[in-house]
Amino acid sequence: MEESTPQRSSWLTLLLHSFVPTTVGVIIYLALAVVIIGVHLLGMSLSGTAYPASFDDNVLQGYANFVIQPLSTLANNQIFNSGLTIIVWGVAGWVVCAIVAAIAGAIHDWRNTEKDITIPQEGVVVRHPLHRNLIIRLLWRLFIGMAIILYTAGIMPVIRYCFGNDVVAIQQSSYVTSFYISTFTALVWVAMFHVYVVLFRLYMLRTRLLGEIIY
C-alpha cells in the first residue's frame, strides 16, 4: 500500500500535467480570443451591420473616421486582398502537405517494419520489435484524428453562439455589460482552443503519460 500510493500520485501528476494548460498557453489562448472577437466586431462595423451602442455621438464619429474608414480603404485595396488570398492559400497548401506527409510517413514506417523480419531457423519468422508499437501508434492516431474531426463538427454551434454573443455585446449601451459578455465569450474560446491543444498533444504523443503506456 505504501508503494502504490506514490505511484498513484505520480500517475495523477502526469495526467494533470498532460491536460492542464500552461500559463503561456492561457496567455496565447486569450490573445487569440481577443483577436477573434475584435476582428468580428470590426467586421460588423465595416459591413454596417452594427456599431458600438455604448459610444456617444462624438466617440462614434471618431470611431467611424479614424478606425472604420481606414480599414474600409484597406479592405478594398487590391494589393492587400491579393496578399491575403496568397496567405490563405499558402496556409491551406501547408495543411494539405502536412497531411500527405504524415500519411506517406505512416505508410513508409509500415512497409519498413513489415519487411524487417528475422528468420532464426526454418519456419520461424520474428518480426521487428517495434512492429506492434507501430500498429498501436497508427491506430491511436487514427482514433485521435477522428476525435479532432468530430470535435470540430461538434463545436460549430458553440462558435455560432460566440459570434452571437459579439452581436449582443456591441448592442449594449453599458461598457460594463459589454465587457462582461465579451469576457465570457473569450473564456469560451479559450476552452475550445485548449481542447484542440490537448487533442493535438495526444495525436503527437507529446505526453509522458502516453509515452509510458504505449512504449
pLDDT tens profile 94-150? 989 988 888 888 787 777 766 655 555 555 555 556 667 777 888 888 898 899 999
Going by pLDDT thresholds of 50, 70 and 90, the confidence category of residue 48 is confident
Which residues are CB-contacts of 177 (< 8 A; sequence separation ≥ 6)?
169
pLDDT at 40: 93
pLDDT at 34: 96
pLDDT at 182: 94
127 neighbors 117 (Cβ within 8 angstroms): yes
d(CA 198, CA 58): 46
126 bridge partner residues: 118
Burial of 170 (0-12, 13-18, 19+ CB in 10 A): buried
Which residues are CB-contacts of 202 (< 8 A; sequence separation ≥ 6)?
140, 144, 210
How much is the average pLDDT of 76-81?
A: 88
Burial of 83 (0-12, 13-18, 19+ CB in 10 A): exposed
pLDDT at 94: 92
pTM of the model: 0.78
Sign of CA dihedral 144, 150, 153, 154: negative
pLDDT at 68: 87
